[in-house]
Amino acid sequence: MLAAAIPVAAAIGVLGVVYGAVAEPVLGPGLTIASSVAAFSGAAQFAMVGLLASGGSAGAVLASVVPLALRHVPLAAILRPHLRWGRGRRVLLSLFLTDETVGLALTRGAQAERTVVLSGAAAYSAWVAGTVAGVAGASLGAIATLAESVFPVLFIGLAAVTARRPRDAVLAGVAASAAALLLTVAPGAGVLGGLAVAIGVAAVGGRR
Amino acid sequence: MSAAALVALVAVITVGSRAVSVALLPAPRGALAGVVDRLPAPLFAVLAIATLLGSDAAPGAGVWLAAGAALATVRRRSLLLTVAAGLAGAVVGAVVEAVASGAWSRLRRCPDCRLVFWDRTRNASKIWCGMYAGADGRACGSIAKVRRYRARRARTTL
């Protein structure tokens, strides 16, 4: 079980270093570390810092963070059938609800809660430690390409491990192609457009 | 709105959306269960595309190389293998980008002491590891110039 959490935690640690280095000039050291401790969401934090650095308003930040937060609805939906805990413990579990922990949990249906907690704790530690290291001063140039690559690589891997049947792989391919087409034609569609494509493909994919 | 208030708000939105989704969504039934059952792989595939194409700037060659290397391993269905291949692709891609942009030639070796260093000068003209002896190393540049000057003077004044 832990063996599967290690590459995820390592990738998130790399990303944390980049976040710390990028956010420190914008937010200052204290607030940068506080944001990683409190939010634990790479995508939302990068969006926030990117917009603040380019002079975006608070409204623009919220407009990009809310769609990313809505991503938690389909993530929770695909995790839900594997959860047996009651509502109170599920709320505690939700602190570790990330793309990566859900993806890992789906590959271990019988121990979903344990997987989310263990991989979540590892990823959270790596994220905060990476942020601290980045704030403390890491040279950015060399790892910029690495940082840009981490999310696509992680998601490709998660799509691969959650494709249990041949049909899942076909659906993933169809959804990826449709999303690529959508984002090429309408770049503004963003994450919400992508989520709509995925749900649509999953809904239609079951019909014969 | 102050930066601290904005960070707090982003944290509340993120953590709150997690808690509400996980606590309130019921276990899916009927036709919906089928949709949820088929959703994971398309969801992550779409997120991969969104992170590749979603930003304003087009991804560089290194990112494409990383994604290609990751994609080449998906049939094995191992997260460890895919992440390792992807990151290896990113490292190769970073080197390719550095060579293509000419930055690679800034990695030099001092002709005197063989120390490898990074040339940070504006016009990329650094030759020796350093000009002055100190904590960082020896004064290879000054030593070479003095040696050359003495050789020249010995020739002309004899």
Q: Do A206 and B34 touch (CB under 8 A)?
A: yes
A16 and A69 belong to one structural domain: yes
A180 and A140 belong to one structural domain: no
Helix (H) or strand (E) holding A82: none
pLDDT at A182: 93
A98 within some domain: yes
Residue ranges per domain, chain B?
59-101, 105-157
B interface test, pick of A19, A78, A101, A153 with most B CB neighbours within 10 Å: A153
Q: What is the phi/psi pair of residue B116, to 5°?
A: -90, 130
pLDDT higher than 80, residue A2: no
Query: What tens digit of pLDDT does each residue of A89-129 get?
Result: 999 999 999 998 998 898 887 789 999 999 999 999 999 99
CA-derived radius of gyration, chain B: 28
A157 within some domain: no
A105 within some domain: yes
A102 and A65 belong to one structural domain: yes
A47 and A144 belong to one structural domain: yes
Q: Are B54 and A137 in contact (CB under 8 A)?
A: no
Residue in A149, A152, A202 with CA at minimum distance from that of residue A175: A202
A167 within some domain: yes
A29 within some domain: yes
A43 and A119 belong to one structural domain: yes
A171 within some domain: yes
Question: What residues 180-199 of chain A have any CB closer than 8 A to a CB of chain B?
Answer: 180, 183-184, 187, 190-191, 194-195, 197-199
A145 and A167 belong to one structural domain: no
Question: What residues 122-181 of chain A have any CB closer than 8 A to a CB of chain B?
Answer: 142, 145-146, 148-163, 167-169, 171-176, 179-180
A133 and A96 belong to one structural domain: yes
A44 and A139 belong to one structural domain: yes
A101 and A194 belong to one structural domain: no
Q: Do A145 and B62 touch (CB under 8 A)?
A: yes
Q: What percent of chain A has pLDDT over 90?
A: 50
A47 and A105 belong to one structural domain: yes
Chain A residue with Cα closest to B75: A160
A131 and A184 belong to one structural domain: no
> What is the maximal distance between C-alpha atoms in chain B?
103
ipTM above 0.90, yes or no: no
A121 and A95 belong to one structural domain: yes
Chain B residue with Cα closest to A5: B80
A156 within some domain: no
Q: Measure B34 CA to nearest chain A CA, in Å.
A: 7
Q: Do A149 and B67 touch (CB under 8 A)?
A: yes
- DSSP characters over chain B: --HHHHHHHHHHHHHHHHHHHHHHPPPP-HHHHHHHHHSHHHHHHHHHHHHHHSSSSPP-HHHHHHHHHHHTTGGG--HHHHHHHHHHHHHHHHHHHHHHTTGGGGEEE-TTT--EEE---TTS---SS-SS-BTTB--HHHHHHHHHHHHHHHHHH-
**Least confident span in A74-83, B12-21, B108-117:** B108-117
pLDDT at A66: 92
Task: Retrieve residue A69's tokens.
Answer: 């937060």
Range of the domain at A120: 2-150
Asked whether the whole model's pTM tops 0.90, one would answer no
pLDDT at A89: 92
Considering chain B, what is the average pLDDT of its residues?
88
Q: Do B87 and A11 touch (CB under 8 A)?
A: yes
A155 within some domain: no
| Residue B52 sits at the chain A interface (C-beta within 8 Å) | yes
Q: Are B47 and B26 in contact (CB under 8 A)?
A: no
**How many independent structural domains does chain A possess?**
2
Residues of A in contact with B95 (CB under 8 A): none
